[in-house]
Homo-oligomer: A and B are copies of this chain.
Amino acid sequence: MSLAGRSLISLWDFTKAEIETLLSIAERMAEAIGLGGRERRGSFEPMDRILATLFFEPSTRTRLSFESAMLRLGGQVLGFADARASSTSKGESLADTCRIVGGCCDIIVIRHWLMGAAKVAADFSGVPVINAGDGPHEHPTQTLTDLFAIKRVKGTLSGLRVGLCGDLKYGRTVHSLAPVMARFGSEIVCIAPKALQIPEETLAEVENLSGKRPEATEDLAEALNDLDVLYMTRIQQERFADRREYERWRGIYVLTPELMARAPEDLIVLHPLPRVDEIEPAVDRDPRARYFEQAHGGVPLRMALLASLLGLQPAPGPQRRYGLDVQPQPSAVPETAEEVRSRGRQVVENAPPCRREGCVTEVWDSLPSQAYVLPDGRQVCAYCERALAEA
């Protein structure tokens, strides 16, 4: 069950046990870099491995977090921070670009505006690939960072009541967090105005996984009373074509010290950041506000992931403590066939081509036409994972 040599395109690429093992390694990494106390900080020896960060779309936070993780491990980094600096302007296919970059590095982190771009990189580069966001499709390390924050404070991922609040329609992070919390046996509460509610598809997926349809409400103040985790999100300005539409929703939910005063004592507040107006700075001083800690956890989490996919071995002695001697932990909640539905493994070759808007197959039509078969027999495009029309 080693992760060495594998890629992370979607959270479904890992079983629950693999996710839990990764979080345990991340905890070791957090300790090694002194996250929970500088005095316990260890040190890492240099390591001759190179990470290539291919950011076809800028994302400073995510990029710096990955680069920091690789440098903390003792490795090296090269790459580009936005597409303008890449040679895609000369009309090269993404597959060719990845094939060539694969010869310059040992592992790739890619961010792209097209769904399926990370899968293309994994298929053609010859090295492990981590998806750092492929359009509206997936951004699994953000979700792993969320899980790591919850696990560190709550000690578990099961049996929790997790409120998602804000722009649940366009906010990609909640589309990933909701199903994975359901996989781990937690309950979801969706707090949003009707116009920005979570898509029916995600609701159905959560229900399918947990046997229970998430509650939906517009009332943050009331919902707050009963939550273990409040996950705030910003209104995604860039997704609104109409500026007035954005202004209408911006500020609809604002977490204030007054609201916090009435919230449970053991609540924790998370946020994928950046925030705009939805959490008042005065809340930052509340010990239940854990969003900066959450963000800081992104570095050891990514260290654990890079080390695992690179197959680094723990070295003897006090140096280079990769934490990879952590044994995979069997999941507390048994995995159902539903949960490990092994997307990405049951591949249909020569499937009907997808080529829909936003899918990588729309732009490069010579990519192999592949589909994945879901447990209910439906086929989804292997790149954007949207359901294919009936053949």
Contacts and interface: CB of A to CB of B under 8 A. Distances in A.
Interface stretch (A97-105, A208-216, A334-342): A97-105
A366 B76 contact: no
Contacts of A99: 292, 295
A60 B48 contact: no
B273 A100 contact: yes
B100 A87 contact: no
Given A48-B43, A48-B74, A81-B85, A96 B64 contact: no
Contact of A64 (B93, B104, B273): B104
A59 to B, nearest CB: 7
Interface residues of A, number: 57
Interface in A78-112: 78-82, 84-87, 90-93, 95-97, 99-101, 103-105
A306 interface: no
Interface stretch (A176-184, A258-266, A274-282, A343-351): A274-282
Interface stretch (A65-73, A134-142, A153-161, A224-232): A65-73
A287 interface: no
A366 to B, nearest CB: 5
Given A48-B43, A78-B68, A87 B61 contact: yes
Interface string A43-67: 1111010101000001111001101
B68 A104 contact: yes
Contact of A60 (B65, B76, B80, B91): B80
Contacts of A85: 58, 60, 81-82
Nearest to A77: B78
Contacts of A198: none
Contacts of A103: 35, 68, 292, 295-296, 298-299
Nearest to A105: B68
Interface in A28-53: 35, 43-46, 48, 50, 52
A320 to B, nearest CB: 10
Chain copies in the assembled complex: 3
A204 to B, nearest CB: 30
A81 B80 contact: yes
A237 interface: yes
Nearest to A83: B60
Interface in A247-306: 273-276, 281, 292, 295-296, 298-299
B87 A58 contact: yes
Nearest to A298: B103
A295 B292 CA distance: 39
B100 A295 contact: yes
A74 to B, nearest CB: 7
19 contacts: A46-B46, A48-B72, A50-B68, A58-B85, A59-B87, A61-B87, A64-B78, A64-B101, A65-B104, A67-B78, A71-B76, A71-B78, A92-B273, A92-B274, A92-B276, A93-B281, A97-B274, A100-B295, A100-B296
Interface of A: 35, 43-46, 48, 50, 52, 58-61, 64-65, 67-68, 71-72, 74, 76-82, 84-87, 90-93, 95-97, 99-101, 103-105, 234, 237-238, 273-276, 281, 292, 295-296, 298-299, 366
Which 5 pairs between the two chains have the least Cβ-Cβ distance?
Answer: A92-B274, A103-B296, A68-B104, A67-B78, A71-B76
